[in-house]
Amino acid sequence: MRLACLRAKSATQAPLAAALANLLWLTEREDLTAAAVDLVVPVPQFLTRRLARPHHAAETISRVLAQRLGRPHSRTLLRKIRFTADQSELSLAERQVNLKDAFTVWPRARSLIGKTVLLVDDILTTGSTANECARTLRRAGAERVVVAVIAKVVP
């Protein structure tokens, strides 16, 4: 699974990311459906990373899950507004500081008040990124944020 997730990040591996999303759907369909989400969003990339790497695994995975759930998908609602160091080289404390105030909700987005948002990423390591994204979505009015990932790194 580790190798598949790492390969799914590659520019040519959008089909692998989609296959991983379908595997997630097959194994977690009941829980994902029971979450009764209103909207599906990926953990975003910063603009310069997006330009350098047009394929973003979390976006592909979130799009597949949105289709499976029959819910709207928004790749632009949650935005990363500043460049941050690569998380893979940082400790838990450094990751939390690195991501502080790195995300925002697009100001012209429809109201999130009372909504349940499915936040999607490929790999959960310490939870710092998911926590900061969820905090940002909750500050913007989301009632609940459910996180879905393909893999979780065991400490």
DSSP string, 98-116: HHTT-EEE-TTSPP-TT-E
Question: In one letter, which amino acid is 59?
Answer: E
Residue in this structure with the two tokens 């390969």, named with its chain if needed:
7
The domain that contains 91 carries what CATH number?
3.40.50
Domain total in the chain: 1
Domain membership of residue 52 as a residue range: 2-152
Q: Is 110 helix (H, G, I), strand (E, B) or coil?
A: coil
The DSSP bridge partners found for residue 148 are: 120
Share of the chain above pLDDT 70, in %: 95
Residue-wise pLDDT for 20-72, tens only, equals: 999 999 999 999 999 999 999 999 988 766 656 667 899 999 999 999 999 99
pTM: 0.90
Per-residue pLDDT at 77 exceeds 80: yes
